[in-house]
């Protein structure tokens, strides 16, 4: 499929999705969100794609926020639907996907941009990145999972401070707070993301998906994460990948997983 606002490139089993609205600092308008839904869904369904890197075009921004011009005509019902659709179609789709997704945060990641990064399973940042949720300056709150995922990642107190002050933080702060796991020079950002993802992709695909589901269960209302872990652990024993992993360990060789 041809996209107007995304660039899709493949390198081995890694697919890179670049949000390509550099003149708008890669802001998330409705069309871009719709394209992200399609691109992510296709990547998850494509057996040749093992994992995804999401980044933004140019050196200035990962995603500098939502396209605020599209908000002006919305009433309460319209705002509710906007948020619900975004959650379902993009942000939860990424977070609950069975393939690893890494956000390579270059420059500004604000509002919906930080929410997009937080929906990814791992975040790394360039040392010039700035992150924040400035929605209260517009009379809004984060609406794409920001109040929940930021709290999960950095704790209630820091999340309260960041959201209520609307202040941006540096990449170094984000690393200290646990919002990102690595900070690198801008020219090393994508290679670092590829390095992490390539290591992940040497592991058993079904086990990766099971691990993602189990970790997410810890933050899902009404779900016992320990019971999810027990169930997912048990299912792994029924896979060919488990048998291959054990055989490779016993035979002191590299495992060749097939996702079966």
Nearest-10 Cα torsion for 171, 173, 177, 182: 30
What span, in angstroms and rounded, lies between the C-alpha atoms of 236 and 229? 11
What span, in angstroms and rounded, lies between the C-alpha atoms of 260 and 245? 12
What span, in angstroms and rounded, lies between the C-alpha atoms of 232 and 107? 37
The set of catalytic residues is: 115, 135
Tell me, what DSSP letter sits at residue 22? G
């Amino acid at each position: 499929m041809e996209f107007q606002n995304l660039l899709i490139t493949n390198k081995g089993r890694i697919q890179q999705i670049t949000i390509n609205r550099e003149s708008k600092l890669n802001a998330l308008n409705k069309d871009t969100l719709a394209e992200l839904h399609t691109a992510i869904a296709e990547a998850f369904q494509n057996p040749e794609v093992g994992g995804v890197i999401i980044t933004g075009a140019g050196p200035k921004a990962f995603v500098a926020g939502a396209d605020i011009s599209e908000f002006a005509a919305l009433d309460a019902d319209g705002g509710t639907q906007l948020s619900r659709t975004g959650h379902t179609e993009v942000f939860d789709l990424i977070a609950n996907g069975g393939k690893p997704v890494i956000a390579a945060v270059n420059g500004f990641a604000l509002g919906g941009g930080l929410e997009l990064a937080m929906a990814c399973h791992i975040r790394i940042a360039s040392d010039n990145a700035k992150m924040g949720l400035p929605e209260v300056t517009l009379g809004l709150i984060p609406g794409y999972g920001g109040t929940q995922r930021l709290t999960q990642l950095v704790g209630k107190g820091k999340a309260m401070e960041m959201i209520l002050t609307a202040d941006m933080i540096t990449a170094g702060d984000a690393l200290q707070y646990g919002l990102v796991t690595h900070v690198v020079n801008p020219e090393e950002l994508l290679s670092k993301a590829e390095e992490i993802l390539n290591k992940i992709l040497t592991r058993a695909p079904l086990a990766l998906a099971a691990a993602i589901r189990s970790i997410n269960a810890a933050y899902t209302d009404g779900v016992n994460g320990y019971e999810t872990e027990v169930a997912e652990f048990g299912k792994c024993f029924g896979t060919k990948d488990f048998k291959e992993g054990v055989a490779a360990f016993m035979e002191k060789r590299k495992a060749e997983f097939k996702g079966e």
